[in-house]
Structure 1
Amino acid sequence: MASVRVIGTGQLLELSTRLRRAGHENIRQSFHRRLRRAAEPLRDDLQDTIRGLAITSQGRGSGRRGGPSPTTRPLRASIAAAIRISVRTGGSPGAKVWLDKARLPDDIPVGLVNRINDGRVRHPVFGNRRRWAQQNATPLWWDKTVRAHQPRITREVERVVDDVRRRLE
């Protein structure tokens, strides 16, 4: 999955060091809060995208029986709930939007999310490893969403860094 990379992370490191030396707690909190706010629209859009993602299958052949889902949790809602933001203003400052493995239910492997992003998911039918099904999704949903937000996040982080630098001088 793609990630947003802001050029000039050396500026963030230098600014983080200056913030620690200056000891301005309210400026550091503001810096942290504004970095989080810059990443929140991306997280929200990723959650909306996975919730609305169409996952299709080939359907059952004639004479094949169906059955209830072995899980009670909706797949897409579970993945959306696991998308998180973490912000660091210390050693390696920045904001990261990521999929928290610990928030995924035990029966949803992390590799499944990567395969959904690839656009093709093969899985055993109701856990029966002798019968497999393939489902298709819109490929690169995570990557496309991140790319769409990258220019806005870059501008916002540059603005935050400039504002904090002016307040420290």
Structure 2
Amino acid sequence: MAGGGPPFSLRVETHDGLAALVRAIRAEEDGKELRKELAKNMRDALKPGAQEAKSSIMSMSSGGLRTSPALRSSVAKKIRPEVKLGGRWSGARVKAFKTKNVRGFPNAPKRLNRASGWRHPVYGNREVWVQQRGKVDWFDRSFAGREGVYRAAVEQAMEDMARRIAARAR
């Protein structure tokens, strides 16, 4: 599930039908609006998964220190569904984006998910390093067993748009 490089994501790979659907939308007079609507419907289909991932990272225990900015909420804000129609890659995915300017820890979503965690120097003592772990597989567990549900929801959004375009042709 987690991709090979940052940022990681759950990806719903679609078949050639998406490319054909996008071509049909472009041929329509109001194709730009139809494309926007299709993308919105596909994002809406993945929102429950994104919400589950956000809830999963927010349930991670904190170290008890009051530091700012808050790591868990910063990571949760960077989780969102993404849809691309056309270009090199077409499809829908839930993605955890990098957390820029959060305690100098841009790869927080990826590192918090890893079993091996990450290393960092102890505050105030640059010679002592510690190994720290987050909530292992918080992103992956959010989607485990439900990939088919999200794939079906995205494909349903595509089917609805295809039916709508076909109905216009009659």
Normalised TM-score (structure 1): 0.76
> What is residue 43 of structure 1 aligned with on the other side?
50
> What is residue 60 of structure 1 aligned with on the other side?
none
Point out where structure 2 has 5 or more consecutive residues left out of the alignment: 4-8
Shift of 1:100: 2.7
Among 15, 24, 27, the residue aligned to 1:18: 24
Give the SS at the match of 1:133.
strand
The structure-2 alpha-carbon separation of the partners of 1:44 and 1:134, relative to structure 1 and needing over 3 Å to count, comes to same
Q: Could you tell me how far apart the structure 2 residues matched to 1:129 and 1:40 are?
A: 42
Runs of 4+ in 1 over 6 A off after TM superposition: none
More contact order relative to length (CA 8 Å, sep ≥ 6): 1
The structure that has the greater radius of gyration is: 1
| Matched residues, number | 157
Contact 2:119/2:130 (<8 A) preserved? yes
> What is residue 31 of structure 1 aligned with on the other side?
38
Code of the residue aligned with 1:20 in structure 2: it is R
Alignment of 1:5-154 (within 5 A): 5-25=11-31, 26-54=33-61, 71-91=67-87, 92-101=89-98, 103-119=99-115, 120-126=117-123, 128-154=125-151
Q: Could you tell me how far apart the structure 2 residues matched to 1:45 and 1:73 are?
A: 22
Point out where structure 1 has 5 or more consecutive residues left out of the alignment: 58-67
Shift of 1:16: 0.6
Matched, 1:162 2:164: no
Shift of 1:13: 1.1
Contact 2:96/2:109 (<8 A) preserved? no
Q: Could you tell me how far apart the structure 2 residues matched to 1:154 and 1:88 are?
A: 15
Normalised TM-score (structure 2): 0.76
- Computed over aligned residues only, the root mean square deviation of the Cα atoms, in angstroms, reads 2.6
Contact 2:46/2:154 (<8 A) preserved? no
1:65-120: CA deviations, max 9, x gaps? xxx76x5211111111122332223334322322333x532534233432211133
Identical amino acids, percent of aligned pairs = 28
Q: Could you tell me how far apart the structure 2 residues matched to 1:7 and 1:88 are?
A: 11
Q: Could you tell me how far apart the structure 2 residues matched to 1:154 and 1:78 are?
A: 27
